[in-house]
């Protein structure tokens, strides 16, 4: 949040979340797909316009952070809205597929059960009307495909497409985000 400046504070009376400093910024919580306001108590993307930073103005800056504004007033009496649980995660990491919300880390946990898989990449195809998840794996043993498919289906109730990639062909990175690719068509 270095771009935005101070954004919030936790109050002593009600820890585990933070009040937005609404005299420093205008805050919106929007559905990241429709950009309609989320109702109080609903999750959405934190969108901020800062007011106090003369040299670094930002207007309706999409933070990519998932937050939820508390529906009830805080017992501390401050009028500022309060984000329950602080930042809950990133909006762009969430994969919505067959009625499930799945994070890449949850899929990675299943893939890591198979030591035969050297590297992998998660591709999400968000074509209208149908989201597909394609798992590209580098594996020396082709037989891992069926077992991985079964384990993913057991864990998340959808069947992934699994494609075997040539050894060394998938990008190597310390950054987990490189393992998620989104295709919009």
Please give the residue ranges that form the binding site for Zn ion (CB under 5 A): 11, 14, 74, 76, 78
Quick one: 68 or 136, whose CB is closer to Zn ion? 68
Quick one: 76 or 109, whose CB is closer to Zn ion? 76
Rounded to the nearest whole angstrom, what is the least distance from the CB of residue 17 to Zn ion in the complex?
Answer: 8
- Per the CB < 8 A criterion, the answer to whether 28 and 47 are in contact is yes
Report d(CA 60, CA 72) in Å as an integer.
Answer: 25
Quick one: 77 or 128, whose CB is closer to Zn ion? 77
Quick one: 14 or 118, whose CB is closer to Zn ion? 14
Quick one: 14 or 49, whose CB is closer to Zn ion? 14
**Which structure tokens are listed for 85?**
């649980």
Strand 132-139 relative to strand 161-164, pairing: parallel
Residue with tokens 């498919």: 149
Rounded to the nearest whole angstrom, what is the least distance from the CB of residue 42 to Zn ion in the complex?
Answer: 20
- Per the CB < 8 A criterion, the answer to whether 140 and 127 are in contact is no
Rounded to the nearest whole angstrom, what is the least distance from the CB of residue 86 to Zn ion in the complex?
Answer: 13
Rounded to the nearest whole angstrom, what is the least distance from the CB of residue 101 to Zn ion in the complex?
Answer: 28
**Which structure tokens are listed for 33?**
């797909």
Rounded to the nearest whole angstrom, what is the least distance from the CB of residue 46 to Zn ion in the complex?
Answer: 18
Quick one: 24 or 119, whose CB is closer to Zn ion? 24
Rounded to the nearest whole angstrom, what is the least distance from the CB of residue 19 to Zn ion in the complex?
Answer: 6
Give residue 16's region: left, alpha or beta (phi > 0; psi -120 to 50): left
Residue environment code for 128-146, b if the CB has 16+ CB neighbours within 10 A, otherwise e: eeeeebebbbbbeeeebbe
Q: If you count them, how many residues does the chain have?
A: 185
């Amino acid at each position: 949040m270095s771009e935005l400046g101070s954004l919030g504070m936790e109050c002593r009376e009600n820890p585990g979340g933070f009040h937005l400093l609404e005299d420093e910024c205008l805050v919106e919580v929007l559905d990241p797909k429709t950009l309609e306001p989320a109702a109080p108590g609903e999750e959405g993307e934190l969108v901020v316009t800062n007011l106090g930073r003369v040299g670094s103005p930002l207007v309706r800056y999409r933070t990519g952070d998932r937050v939820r504004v508390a529906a009830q007033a805080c017992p501390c009496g401050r009028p500022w809205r309060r984000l329950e649980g602080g930042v809950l995660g990133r909006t762009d990491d969430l994969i919505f597929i067959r009625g499930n919300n799945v994070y890449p880390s949850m899929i990675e946990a299943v893939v890591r059960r198979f030591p035969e898989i050297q590297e992998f990449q998660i591709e999400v195809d968000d074509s209208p009307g149908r989201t597909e998840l394609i798992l590209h794996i580098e594996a020396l043993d082709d037989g891992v495909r069926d077992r991985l498919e079964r384990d993913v289906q057991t864990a998340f109730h959808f069947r992934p497409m699994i494609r075997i990639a040539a050894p060394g062909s998938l990008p190597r990175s310390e950054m987990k985000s490189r393992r998620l690719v989104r295709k919009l068509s």
